[in-house]
Structure 1
Amino acid sequence: MNTRTAFRTVAVAEAISWALLMSAMFCKYVTESEPFGLREGGVPVAGMTHGVVFLAYVGMCLVARRSFGWSHKTTLVALAASIPPFFTYVFEVVADRKGLLAQADAPVSSR
């Protein structure tokens, strides 16, 4: 797997994990239901999943910075995109269009 594919995969997964967490929180706090019989509405599971994927995204931002030669500004924007829901996907689309993910053959473990 190359860096571009790994970054894009993790960025989309981070956005999906946001959706899962927000859905679980909606069920718990708004509908006060327990979907699928999950206590706490699945918030602990969705929260842990989102946390793990969030950390993977931060790590992939650092790998992408090194692989693609991102500036400090681009790296900070990529990292900041992880805070609002779904912005990792937006950043990934914009970065791809601007050619910031252009080195399709950069291996994930390159130094």
Structure 2
Amino acid sequence: MPGGDLYNRLRDLLEREHQALISGQIDTLARLCAEKERLIGALQTTAAQADLGTLQALRPLAERNAHLLQALRRGVSAARESLDRIRNGSPLFGTYDSKGTSTPLVHRSGAVERRA
């Protein structure tokens, strides 16, 4: 099959990417990105000769990783929002008095109180 080595290398890369995603190795993901772009570019030049079954075998691996990347992005975004709320002094927790007035449990200054 033409490009068989290319498909094997891409499959192996998708497996390494999966391992990096589930273990939180974001620095590894950055390095794999350039290699993946190179392999996909090479795959595009040989796609006319490619075995459709081989290409379809790579799809579930790529989709699995895409779902994990989306989850990673959502998690990082949620963490960033939480940090912004803390930094800006937005109340994360509050309490109500007997009249129903809400009182935040964090200082409005946004500073973290440290105690010994």
> TM-score when scaled to structure 2?
0.37
Higher strand share: 2
Higher helix share: 1
Q: Which has the larger radius of gyration?
A: 2
> TM-score when scaled to structure 1?
0.39
Q: Which has the higher contact order (CA 8 A, sep 6+)?
A: 1
